[in-house]
Structure 1
């Protein structure tokens, strides 16, 4: 049960297909199913990599099967190059062979691109008729079409397990009438410029959170913390677990997010609690949710509803203030910004774990190699330093409050730090591990 929030959507009346950008779109279907017509009608010509057109470029014959190796080598190289430039790309080939799909996925994932597989569904009789009517390029023949359909039927059974971010099947009516719209990812919010107060890991430290909000100038009005000057809070995830007042923190943050006084990105502990209510046996010991078992039946339902509303549609990171600010719980590498895949989702929540020569788990310090232009504010890895740590245009706001450290906020764009001391060390700080 993994989330990535990459979501292409068909409108309710199946007249529009909304596709997040950037993405790799692979068209898959037998000859004559309408792939190329669909591609040329809905996308700029420069976006489309057509295996037929590339055969023609190489050998002056779009049906020259002897040029297949060179054709697909060229297609793979062009795809790799376009993705280095972060360009949405449509691959127009039959994509019926698993080796081809695997290679396309490998290239896309190397560049952290989401891949959408569009299965173009058509009756075999219609495909044979269309193929037979072709003049330039010439038909592939009924025998080849029949062989392609055997492969296509197998793909329908296996496509969901091959590693695509999403698989959508379109029938002939849909591909003839669909209007495709390329839309930005939901995590892109460049128009939201602040000012913000960005708060690191809370971990159930409710009293400290209230003290910090008061210190930041927020006032409690109608049960919701609001700032008289219109400032908004950004919570960097890990609201709960390990600390003493988890449900209280969920209530406070949920109320602020619901009333648009705060933004929220989930952390690994938030997602663990979300999964706990879906599949209680799926939560690992590092993301303990044992406090849930001490709640009353009414509180249990409330906690479930609150975390579900917060996490279900929350972006794993956000791009804010005209692309000058990025916020993510555990951080994000510069080449990931502006994209969304399951790997990126997991990185934003958990970071990257390395295994030391001694066999211990250790968090990778991704900020050491960050070279991006946006400032990245994150938490997840508690520090013992007096102030949040800047490194390579990143800032770590987790000051280990639950371990007896501090709860920290960074005022943006002022770049000022406001902190409160923990009222107690609620758990012992781990000396090693993740």
Structure 2
């Protein structure tokens, strides 16, 4: 039996001359809708599957169908000859556009077999001349298929091999959807071993040590697991100790991990491919030089084997070092890995010499929670179902973890300032959709604010949409697209509340005309529900019906008082003007508001 392993989500090209049995193979091994036949597409556009004059239109249809399937994250099989380089190139580009891997299954059968199959075709035979041309084109390009961009090439040379094939669909390396946790997701450690051990203790883990007292594992009595967001090394006092503990937990099944850009640079340095040793890498390499060759090999293999991002809990949780836009969740390509490690960058550098990053989280509207690190912030906050857990421990800030699915933030303060940031830490951007109050410092455990979050079914990027660069957004900038359109607001007490587009438009107009700045509106007082319309002639409401309604609702005591319209007020006070500017976007001198 010939076993062919393909990713669960991929673009599979069946390559072979006419008469090689591609269509029969597709019917036997793939689902009814998974395979797209070029002959079928010709028939759709011309009523004749053999009409060669309709080939261009047929392939336009084929590419459109394939693109829509790949956008939806579905395995897609192309049943066409695919013997020409140009024909394959357009399909390989299609796979790249949707960040899936292209795979080729090649039918390199003998000419005599092809001619025999051709004579037995139900439709019009192609003839010996066409088959010989196809066969020649295929064999001339056979050795270069991997160079063209195929990540898997499987060649079948005999009818017996074709008949014995077994297709095995392998899960993507990022697919942890059947792992439901619970997890304790930990932000950038950067060699801060004392703080990591303290944080694990706050989270309820027991540290296990070897004979020399070094931390080599940590277990939780309730079976929880840590999930490291990368950048375990560099800048801090004990990168080797952090690696030893994280690797031990991971190998024992007590932790998961994704790589950070500092792990990628460490692997390159261990391979001798990195000449510059900046941002703490030199110190980490010096620490590793004092370890055994075996330990250095283990570090290299472990860090090299980490997957760019993980999709967990039925797709409800996505973790990546620098975050990940929705179109990239569960996808496989170089640009997805680059985004996961470095974020959405413009290719330019700022005045500090660091990459200019686009604020992708401001435009995120996905259902999945995205947890990341990479860009140190002063406080961990929810923004559009996204939280950055890098709170700058190595720079004297805090080491942060989020309990998932509880959404409880746990933090410990840095014991000291081990390094100075090149760029000042990012301040919170204020209340956003899914946002909330910033977490306070110190060792603490509290529910992270922002349990209400919203998603838009009209404005959200659909899974598989071709990635477009996020438009830079200034701090405090408001956009109507954040609130307009039909959307679902997920609340902690009342579940999901649907807001229709016309309701959102009405609320948008009211707030635009009559309200204070939205950044000052973390709370709107509820309106008392009116009593039922009175059945008494001449009355809109009557005490008799009102008392009956309260009694039916189980209210035993009713206080009656004269009603004054507009009598309520909300007073919002900040600690000082600096806090008001940072948290609510207040103007200079403003420390609060009454509305």
| Residues 1:34 and 2:21 are matched in the alignment | yes
CA deviations 1:301-334 (Å, max 9, x no partner) are 2443332342344322222223221111111111
Displacement of 1:285 in angstroms is 5.4
Aligned match of 1:371: 365
CA deviations 1:168-220 (Å, max 9, x no partner) are 33333432211213343232223322221110111111122112112222112
1 or 2, which has the higher helix percentage? 1
Aligned match of 1:301: 293
Aligned match of 1:136: 122
Displacement of 1:410 in angstroms is 1.0
Aligned match of 2:46: 59
Aligned match of 1:10: none
Displacement of 1:370 in angstroms is 1.2
Displacement of 1:376 in angstroms is 0.7
Which secondary structure does the structure 2 equivalent of 1:228 belong to? Answer: coil
Displacement of 1:277 in angstroms is 2.8
Aligned match of 1:9: none
Contact 2:369 2:386 in 1 (8 A): yes
Aligned match of 1:420: 412
| Residues 1:350 and 2:342 are matched in the alignment | yes
Aligned match of 2:220: 227
Contact 2:323 2:343 in 1 (8 A): yes
Pairs within 5 Å for 1:202-351: 202-221=189-208, 223=210, 224-278=217-271, 280-282=272-274, 289-291=281-283, 293-295=285-287, 299=291, 301-351=293-343
Name the CA shift for 1:28/1:288 in 2 (closer, same or farther; >3 Å): farther
Displacement of 1:431 in angstroms is 2.2
Aligned match of 1:5: none
Contact 2:233 2:284 in 1 (8 A): no
Contact 1:376 1:395 in 2 (8 A): yes
- Partner Cα distance (1:370, 1:174) in 2: 47
- Partner Cα distance (1:423, 1:151) in 2: 67
Aligned match of 2:181: 194
User: Please, which runs of 5 or more residues in structure 1 have no aligned partner?
Assistant: 1-13
Contact 1:268 1:287 in 2 (8 A): no
Aligned match of 2:435: none
1:154 to 140, 143, 148: 140
Name the CA shift for 1:77/1:322 in 2 (closer, same or farther; >3 Å): closer
Pairs within 5 Å for 1:80-99: 80-99=67-86
- Partner Cα distance (2:280, 2:421) in 1: 15
| Residues 1:24 and 2:17 are matched in the alignment | no
Aligned match of 1:404: 396
TM-score calculated relative to the size of structure 1: 0.88
Aligned match of 1:431: 423
Which secondary structure does the structure 1 equivalent of 2:169 belong to? Answer: strand
Pairs within 5 Å for 1:109-120: 109-120=96-107
Q: Quick check: which has more Rg, 1 or 2?
A: 2
Count how many residue pairs are aligned between Structure 1 and Structure 2.
416
CA deviations 1:83-142 (Å, max 9, x no partner) are 2333221001111222222222233322223222222222233223322x1343222222
Moved over 4 A (4+): 282-288, 295-298, 356-360
Which secondary structure does the structure 1 equivalent of 2:131 belong to? Answer: helix
Displacement of 1:432 in angstroms is 8.4
77-86 vs 208-217, which moves further: 77-86
Greater RCO (CA < 8 Å, at least 6 residues apart): 1
- Partner Cα distance (1:375, 1:199) in 2: 15
| Residues 1:101 and 2:117 are matched in the alignment | no
TM-score calculated relative to the size of structure 2: 0.65
Aligned match of 2:556: none
Displacement of 1:287 in angstroms is 6.8
Aligned match of 1:393: 385
Contact 2:288 2:296 in 1 (8 A): no
Displacement of 1:300 in angstroms is 5.0
Displacement of 1:282 in angstroms is 4.4
